[in-house]
């Protein structure tokens, strides 16, 4: 898969490495000249630093890996996504890791509203990102939420290729809320039984 990552900080760098280790071609950009990433990924021939404006033309899927405060600007710069998948890894926290109030709306719904031309899938946000390098192939569940079945299937296949077990929690509204910071599926890895029981309990509250 050709994957473009917006943001080359802690999260973008780990995902770039993990995806490259899984056989994917990765294009990654920060807010500056790709030369600022020169040498950072030199151990991987398949991680290519590029200008952020070039990400869309070289990638089939994009990953949003910037701080919450930068999401509005980044999505505006991204423009028309033409139905491409956008994997949202962001969490609505500020620099002190305090929750930013979105009026009760799950953060990936806010992202989807900002970029209606993309198919947003929430993923990779519920536990420490370094686990995507350290815990590959250990049977750990990685949660996903989204409103488009085909996009969820594609991202599930990506998660599987990275050595994790995809678990679809539901829509951006329902699953996104559980995966949001302070949501019941956020903060630590969960077993399938734990996840099943949380999803069942929360679904029962909705009926």
Ligand X SMILES: NC(=O)c1ccc[n+]([C@@H]2O[C@H](COP(=O)([O-])OP(=O)(O)OC[C@H]3O[C@@H](n4cnc5c(N)ncnc54)[C@H](OP(=O)(O)O)[C@@H]3O)[C@@H](O)[C@H]2O)c1
Query: Which residue's Cβ has the minimum distance to ligand X?
Result: 9
Q: Is 79 left (phi over 0), alpha (psi -120 to 50) or beta?
A: left
31 vs 161, which CB is nearer to ligand X?
A: 31
Q: Which helix (H) or strand (E) holds 61?
A: strand 61-64
What distance in Å separates the CA atoms of residue 181 and residue 172, rounded to the nearest whole number?
Answer: 14
* Among 6, 47, 158, 162, interactor with ligand X by CB under 6 A: 6
For residue 79, state whether it binds ligand X (rule: CB under 6 A): no
What distance in Å separates the CA atoms of residue 163 and residue 197, rounded to the nearest whole number?
Answer: 24
53 vs 201, which CB is nearer to ligand X?
A: 53
What is the nearest approach in angstroms of ligand X to the Cβ of residue 92? 8
* Among 17, 48, 52, 190, interactor with ligand X by CB under 6 A: 52
Q: Is 3 left (phi over 0), alpha (psi -120 to 50) or beta?
A: beta
Of 187, 10, 12, 181, the closest CA to residue 93 belongs to: 181
What is the nearest approach in angstroms of ligand X to the Cβ of residue 126? 7
What distance in Å separates the CA atoms of residue 18 and residue 23, rounded to the nearest whole number?
Answer: 9
Of 79, 103, 102, the closest CA to residue 90 belongs to: 102
* Among 3, 15, 20, 29, interactor with ligand X by CB under 6 A: 29
* Among 2, 23, 32, 116, interactor with ligand X by CB under 6 A: 32
What is the nearest approach in angstroms of ligand X to the Cβ of residue 182? 13
> How does strand 141-146 pair with strand 119-123?
antiparallel
Piece of the chain touching ligand X by CB under 6 A; list 40-48, 88-96, 144-152, 190-198: 88-96
Quick check: helix, strand or coil at residue 158? helix
For residue 70, state whether it binds ligand X (rule: CB under 6 A): yes
For residue 59, state whether it binds ligand X (rule: CB under 6 A): no
Binding site for ligand X (CB under 6 A): 6-12, 29-32, 52, 65-68, 70, 73-74, 77, 89-91, 93, 125, 128-129
């Amino acid at each position: 898969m050709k994957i473009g990552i917006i943001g080359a900080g802690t999260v973008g760098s780990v995902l770039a490495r993990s995806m490259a280790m899984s056989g994917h071609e990765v294009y990654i950009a920060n807010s500056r000249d790709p030369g600022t990433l020169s040498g950072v990924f030199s151990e991987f021939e398949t991680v290519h630093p590029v200008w952020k404006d070039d990400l869309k033309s070289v990638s089939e899927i994009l990953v949003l890996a910037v701080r919450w405060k930068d999401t509005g600007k980044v999505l505006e710069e991204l423009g028309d996504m033409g139905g491409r998948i956008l994997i949202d890894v962001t969490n609505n926290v500020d620099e002190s890791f305090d929750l930013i109030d979105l009026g009760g709306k799950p953060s990936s719904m806010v992202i989807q509203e900002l970029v209606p031309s993309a198919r947003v899938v929430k993923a990779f946000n519920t536990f420490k990102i370094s686990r995507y390098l350290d815990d590959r192939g250990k049977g750990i569940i990685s949660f996903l939420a989204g409103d488009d079945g085909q996009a969820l299937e594609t991202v599930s296949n990506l998660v599987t290729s990275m050595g994790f077990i995809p678990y679809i929690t539901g829509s951006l509204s329902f699953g996104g809320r559980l995966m949001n910071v302070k949501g019941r599926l956020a903060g630590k890895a969960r077993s399938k039984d734990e996840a099943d029981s949380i999803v069942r309990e929360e679904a029962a509250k909705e009926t």
